[in-house]
């Protein structure tokens, strides 16, 4: 990705370019690219834009489908300079992950466990789409952990991802429950 970002001959970098560069690891690499920005507080609506492709990619991972993208997603592009900025921001995280990742506990990072990780990511990406205040950070971090584990064939990261999935769903469920309960209370008080 750094080579692509530094390639001065390109004006724009498309999602399809990234997809082609990553080859058989394209799904988890793109999941990381779309999830990692949501791991930090972002402007409202960002999680909806970045979460939609995550649903699509996680579904492919869940069902063990060969990676592909519809043209409407693959043709989306950004200026090379903007891509270079994004790569620069996530480079520190990627470098940390590269140092930490090593092939271990492969049973948790390869099929059929990889399909379960995809199902967890699918559920988390749906949660990511919901307009829950600060409700997207933990699911985004969890999806990123899964993506790192699958990219590096590191079952330890995948195991951590499964534990974080349970925590993410409990926290998101609690927040959603609280918001629904508060909304019902306000409606009842308004009509009382």
- d(CA 121, CA 104) in angstroms, rounded, equals 21
pLDDT of residue 35 exceeding 70, the answer is yes
Position 162 pLDDT exceeds 70: yes
For position 89, what pLDDT does the model report? 72
DSSP-assigned beta bridge partners for residue 154: 104
Task: Tell me the percentage of the chain whose pLDDT exceeds 90.
Answer: 23
Burial class (CB in 10 A: 0-12, 13-18, 19+), 42: middle
CB distance 144 to 32 below 8 Å: yes
Q: Is the confidence at residue 18, as pLDDT, over 80?
A: no
pLDDT, average across residues 129-139:
78
* pLDDT for residue 42 is more than 70: no
Closest alpha carbon to 148 in 158, 159, 137, 138: 158
Question: Is the confidence at residue 163, as pLDDT, over 90?
Answer: yes
Could you tell me the pTM of the whole model?
Answer: 0.78
- pLDDT (mean) for 164-174: 90
Residue pointed to by tokens 């498309």: 14
């Amino acid at each position: 990705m750094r080579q692509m970002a530094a390639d001065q001959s390109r004006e724009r970098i498309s999602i399809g370019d990234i997809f082609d560069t990553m080859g058989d690891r394209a799904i988890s690499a793109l999941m990381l690219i779309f999830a990692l920005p949501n791991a930090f507080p972002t402007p409202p609506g960002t999680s909806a834009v970045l979460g939609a492709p995550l649903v699509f990619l996680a579904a492919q991972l869940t069902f063990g489908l060969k990676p592909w993208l519809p043209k409407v997603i693959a043709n989306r592009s950004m200026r090379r300079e903007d891509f270079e900025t994004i790569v620069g921001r996530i480079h520190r995280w990627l470098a940390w992950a590269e140092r930490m990742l090593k092939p271990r506990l492969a049973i948790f990072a390869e099929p059929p466990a990889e399909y379960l990780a995809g199902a967890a990511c699918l559920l988390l990406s749906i949660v990511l789409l919901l307009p829950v205040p600060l409700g997207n950070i933990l699911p985004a971090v969890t999806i990123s952990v899964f993506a790192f584990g699958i990219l590096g064939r590191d079952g330890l990261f995948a195991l951590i991802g499964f534990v974080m999935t349970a925590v993410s769903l409990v926290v998101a469920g609690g927040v959603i429950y609280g918001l629904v309960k508060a909304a019902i209370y306000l409606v009842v008080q308004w009509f009382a």
